Structure 1
Amino acid sequence: MKNQLKAGIILSYIVNGISIIIEIVYMPIMIRLLGQSEYGLYTLVSGVVSYLSLFSLGFTGSYLRFFSRFNQKKDREGLASLNGMFFLIFLILAFVALICGLTLSFFPKQIFGSKLSGVELSEARVLMIILVINIAISLISSIFDSIVSAYEQFIFQRIVSLLAVIINPFVCLPLLLMGYGNIMIVVVSLGITIGKLCMNLWFCVRKLKIPISFHNFRISLVKEMAFFSFFLLLNMIIDQINWNVDKLILSHTNGIKEVAIYGVASQINKLFITFSVTISSVFSPRINRIAADYDADYQQQYTVLMAKIGRIQWLILGLLSMGFIIFGKIFIVNIYAGNGYEKAYTVSLYLVIPALISLIQNIGIEIQRALNMHQFRSIIYIVMAVFNVFISIPLAERFGAVGTAMGTAISLIVANGFIMNVFYHKVLKINMIFFWKEIGKTLTGFLIPVIVGALIMRYISFTHLVTYILCIVMFLVIYGLSIYCFSCNEKERDLVLSLIVRKRNEK
């Protein structure tokens, strides 16, 4: 399992690395070939249809908890019933999502607003139908993906993700160059989703040989899962509001161009989120095992684990956020999106910087779920999400995409920066003073990169691409050396060295 864990983390970063390369190389081409209107329409419809993922009702996130319970007791019969229940539940949920989505596709004007033209509304309807089918199939696939994760088969899971990341641009780019638009892009995504479902299903049945039974359903267990999953559903609703409702607000208040600008910023923000969850996601089974064992020192175990993972996430996200502050504006306008997207840099900063607090603490979400104490977070976040909508509407009318991002930033700071840290410390008994002291110990290594970054922004104008690349490389080297020497502890230095060369005792 340790090999699976290490390989899972390494493969995750390979996937992320390739994703970044694709973001830098493929996405700018896609945005330019589609044009601002078509790209804005694509990101708007994708964001709206993603609300149908709420039909999972939070059951996906609850699987690990109940799997750990039966697996700990070696109750194969109970595990078989659990798998059968989840499979049938998700078949029903996928069907309901499909029917609801197809019904909504008949009302594009009511959904997307009157700012869109007739042609854009017709195209939006076609996009919506295809994406609805994609969501329905994804719901079915998600249960098998959860099973693979529960068995800690991270290598297979990351390879599937890697294939999906690579195949998408290699298929889409030739089609875009041939003149096909965003409809063909979502058709390709649908094909990839079907492929992932087939691979996950094959692996669960043929390799893992998972037990599955459609008999002896335990009604009490279904009720317990429903109660547990309800609050996960609230979390999903919150995420949808925080990250997608802004696009819908902008489509009604400003039009498709502001949606496109926000869409570019969302892609940048998505990269930060991806890097953060890469490490924490592979620790989910371990967190659930600690909760299942319920040792007397489980709170101390969670404190140490949260600080350990938080430090690593902070050091990685620190590089990304500082690099984006220094080089991001030139990157978005000259490399990534092109002219017309200048405001995306400011929007990105409003989305990314306030989210750093939650991103280095997202392993706490897994801890809450494992302890069945995620209800408070759900309630607080739903209140803040509603608050986000109310303040974002007037801000959008006045400042456009920047205004909606400001609304999201305010809600994130209040909920994540203050309320949740108190909850972790007082209720979950995770020593957040220790956590922030551990984060604080890394700050010495940030001093030199901050000074260098400030000098670059003050005195260097990136008139040539070579100058831009050289400055990025120089900053990467300075940041890496400074963090390694002044921020990393002994274990973190060993981790860095182990990724470069194999230790002699691992032969």
Structure 2
Amino acid sequence: MSQLKKGALLNYVTIILTNIVGIVLTPFIISKLGNSEFGVYMAIGALVGTISVLDFGLNNTIIRFVAKYQAEKNRKEEENFLATVMIIYFVISILVILLGFLFYGYIDDYFDLMTNEEVEIAKKMTLILIFNLAIKLPGGAFTAICLGYEQYVFPKFINIIRYILRVGLVICVLLMGGRSISLVILDTVLNLLIIIFSAVFVFKKLKARFKLHSFSKTFIKQIFNYSVWIFIYSIVAQFQWQTGHIVLGGFSKPEVLAIYAVGLMLGSYYGAFSSAVTSVFLPRATQMVVANASTKELTGMMIKIGRISFIILIYILGAFILYGRQFVFLWVGESYSDSWIIALLIMIVYTIPLTQGFTGSIIEAKNKVAFKAIIYLVFMSMGTLLGYFLAIKHGVMGMITGSIVGWLIAQNVMNVYYYRVLKLNLLRFFKELFQKTIIIQFIVIGIGLGINFIPGEGWLNFIIKCFLYTIVFGILMFRFGMTPYEKQLFTDGLSKFSKK
């Protein structure tokens, strides 16, 4: 099996492992830290994490340039490029530390609803996370170099090992009485170890070298010209949901921040499961774009990928609508009721964009990334601002409402762009996307409501309901909702399709 296929397989393992372990581990962490400290832990992580946008998209730039120099067998330019990038990262790390300490100085004033003890915890975590980020950003360059050398297995495998190791250590630390600060220290140590192992692999195995042959401002400009739109995308990712922590942190109690964090977590898992499936198909889609396939062919492939994704998404969404509230109560407790609503809202607005994942490949292949980045940045920023004003009166629900409004407007603008500029037949896309599937799903939901009357409240009751819902959905969707192509696809397995 090639490095690429092994890397893809490990990527799916990582996604599944992250989601499943996250669901299992979160209630344990909450039970040990308490709602208040968990809220502080998540809020500070999100706040300091926003500084990570100062990577300026350099990781992706490293992959692109290293791959280019490897193809050209241009050792000297590669050495010069890597040395230049590390100088840039050195400046970025200093900037991270300066911004981190600036934020540190305002913690008392910013978190004015926290107790003195919570503020002290927040301060200590901030200092540790600043150091963590200052080493993590340049350290990520070693992973990017591996990918540029088309060595996909090592970085993904070591990341899986790190994740499994972290789970065991988190459990041990909390059982021994450790608190949130202990978890932050643990993550910092693990990140440092990953950087060291990755550096050894890059220097010893790949024989990569950092040597500054010449320092050119023009070269630096060339680097940033490529990375600027990736940088803007990273800002969009922060505005998408995470800035809600910053907004809410100014006038909310830690328990509220915990509720918001759990809702975002569940919403992100929804997107991850879809990405794990659709990513199997995207390489073939990208090849079509490069081969100048017609808009009719591109729309056809978009429909094929979109329907597979849609069937999986509405299965999860339907289950979460029917039994998600019970799951959240059993998982983290009744005090997190709003987390279910937040996650549900994210899932609903995410569903259609996730089925249109193929458009990302088209936009990148046609070099039209700038428009999409600007549209999402503008409207997600406006959504965050709206969320701020709504959150003053309505708390977490106001914040998520503002973010969703911004996301929906941006998505509708992009749909117009897909239709008018990329010439994709969206009317055909939506018609075929909903054909049979939406009617069957309404029937399944109706039956699922009946299943919900099964008496009981515990985990066994929840599992029985989900099992019956899955059986009903599987039978009805396979028999009446899927096309012959999709039935064959699910019968043969996704892996066979990816080889076609």
TM-score under structure 2 normalisation? 0.87
The yes-or-no answer on 1:427 pairing with 2:421 is yes
Q: Say whether residues 1:319 and 2:318 are aligned partners.
A: no
Q: What is the alpha-carbon distance in structure 2 between the residues aligned to residue 300 and residue 142 of structure 1?
A: 40
One-letter amino acid matched to 2:57 = G
Q: 1:482 to 1:394 in 2, by over 3 A?
A: same
Q: Are the aligned partners of 2:382 and 2:406 in contact in 1 as well (CA < 8 Å)?
A: yes
Q: In the alignment, what sits opposite 2:137? A: 139
Are 1:94 and 1:137, in contact at CA under 8 Å, matched by a contact in 2?
Answer: yes
In the other structure, the counterpart of 1:33 is 32
SS at match of 1:254: coil
Shift of 1:305: 5.5
Tell me the CA shift for residue 420 of structure 1: 1.2
**One-letter amino acid matched to 1:191:** V
CA distance, structure 2, for counterparts of residue 121 and residue 173 of structure 1:
25
| 2:392 aligned residue | 397
CA distance in 2, matches of 1:439, 1:12: 27
- Determine helix, strand or coil for the equivalent of 2:356: coil
Q: Structure 1 residues 500, 63: closer, same or farther in 2, change over 3 A?
A: closer
Could you give the per-residue CA deviations for residues 96-115 of structure 1, whole angstroms, max 9, x where no partner exists? 213321343232124x3311
Match of 2:326 among 325, 330, 346: 330
1:58 matched to which residue of 2?
A: 57
- The whole-number CA distance in structure 2 between the counterparts of 1:155 and 1:377 is 31
Could you tell me which amino acid in structure 1 is paired with residue 24 of structure 2?
V
Which residue matches 1:473?
Answer: 467
Secondary structure, counterpart of 1:297 in structure 2? coil
Q: Distance in 1 between matches of 2:393 and 2:232?
A: 30
Q: Partner residue of 1:463? A: 457
Where in structure 1 are there 5+ consecutive unaligned residues? none
The question of whether the paired residues in 1 share the 8 Å contact of 2:65 and 2:148 is answered with: no
The 5 A counterparts of 1:88-167 are: 88-110=87-109, 112-167=110-165
May I ask how many residue pairs the two structures share in their alignment?
A: 498
1:205 Cα deviation after fit? 3.6
Shift of 1:253: 2.5
SS at match of 1:415: helix
Greater displacement, 123-132 / 430-439 = 430-439
**Contact 1:68–1:289 (CA<8 Å) still a contact in 2?**
no
Q: 1:146 to 1:232 in 2, by over 3 A?
A: same
| 2:53–2:235 Cα contact (<8 Å) kept | yes
Q: State the shift of 1:307 in Å.
A: 4.3
In the alignment, what sits opposite 1:238? 236
Shift of 1:270: 2.0
CA distance 1:134–1:282, shift in 2 (3 Å): farther
Say if 1:62 and 1:369, in contact at 8 Å, map to a contact too: no
Any residues of structure 2 matched to 1:238-387 within 5 Å, and which? Answer: 238-279=236-277, 294-297=290-293, 306-334=302-330, 336-387=331-382
Moved more, 461-470 or 206-215: 206-215
Q: 2:402 aligns with which of 376, 387, 407?
A: 407
In structure 2, distance between residues paired with 1:88 and 1:311: 46
CA distance in 2, matches of 1:6, 1:119: 49
Residue 407 (structure 1) shift: 1.0
Which amino acid in structure 2 is aligned with residue 170 of structure 1?
A: G
The letter of the residue matching 1:204 is: V
Q: 1:298, 1:182 → 2: CA distance?
A: 54
Q: Using a 3 Å threshold, how does the CA distance of structure 1 residues 193 and 226 change in structure 2: closer, same or farther?
A: same
AA partner of residue 378 (structure 1): A
Taking the aligned partners of 2:285 and 2:86, their CA distance within structure 1 comes to 24
1:234 and 1:308, CA in 2 relative to 1: closer, same or farther beyond 3 A? Answer: same
Partner of 1:21 in structure 2?
20
Whichever residue aligns with residue 52 of structure 2, its letter is S
Q: Are positions 1:200 and 2:198 aligned together?
A: yes
Summarize deviations over 1:178-205 as a string: whole Å, max 9, x none: 2111001111111222232233334434
The answer (yes or no) to whether the contact 1:235–1:378 under 8 Å persists in 2 is yes
- In structure 2, the CA distance between the partners of 1:226 and 1:321, relative to structure 1 (3 Å rule), is same
Aligned partner of 2:48: which letter? Answer: V
Give the alignment partner of residue 178 of structure 1, picking from 176, 179, 194: 176
Identify if the C-alpha distance between structure 1 residues 483 and 450 changes in structure 2 by more than 3 Å, giving closer, same or farther: same
Given that residues 306 and 433 in structure 2 are in contact (C-alpha distance below 8 angstroms), is that contact kept between their aligned partners in structure 1? yes
The Cα shift of 1:151 comes to: 4.7
Report the Cα distance in structure 2 between the residues aligned to 1:145 and 1:105, rounded to whole angstroms: 30
1:11 corresponding residue in structure 2: 10
In structure 1, how many angstroms separate the alpha carbons of the residues matched to 2:464 and 2:103? 50
Task: Could you tell me which runs of 5 or more consecutive residues in structure 2 were left unpaired when the two chains were aligned.
Answer: none
2:212 to 210, 214, 226: 214
How far apart are the structure 2 equivalents of 1:305 and 1:204? 38
Name the structure 1 match of 2:42.
43
Q: 1: distance between equivalents of 2:473 and 2:387?
A: 36
Segment of structure 1 superposing worse, 142-151 or 67-76 = 67-76
Asked if the contact 2:325–2:337 (Cα under 8 Å) also holds between the matched residues in 1, the reply is yes
CA distance in 2, matches of 1:366, 1:308: 15
Contact 1:284 1:366 in 2 (8 A): yes
Equivalent residue of 1:116, what SS? Answer: coil
* Separation in structure 2 between the aligned mates of residue 493 and residue 141 of structure 1, nearest angstrom: 45
Indicate how the Cα distance of structure 1 residues 219 and 251 shifts in structure 2: closer, same or farther if over 3 A, else same: closer
CA contact 2:381–2:406 (8 Å) conserved in 1: no
Contact map agreement 1:83 1:213 (CA 8 A) in 2: yes
- Are 1:65 and 1:288, in contact at CA under 8 Å, matched by a contact in 2? no
Alpha-carbon distance in structure 2 between the residues aligned to 1:281 and 1:147: 22
3-state secondary structure, aligned to 1:400: helix
Higher mean alpha-carbon deviation, 482-491 vs 232-241, is at: 482-491
SS at match of 2:334: coil
Residue identity in the other structure for 1:98: I
Summarize the Cα distance change of 1:255–1:205 in structure 2 as closer, same or farther, 3 Å threshold. same
CA offsets per residue over residues 459-486 of structure 1, 9 Å max, x none? Answer: 3344233221111122223333444444
**CA offset at residue 382 of structure 1?**
2.1
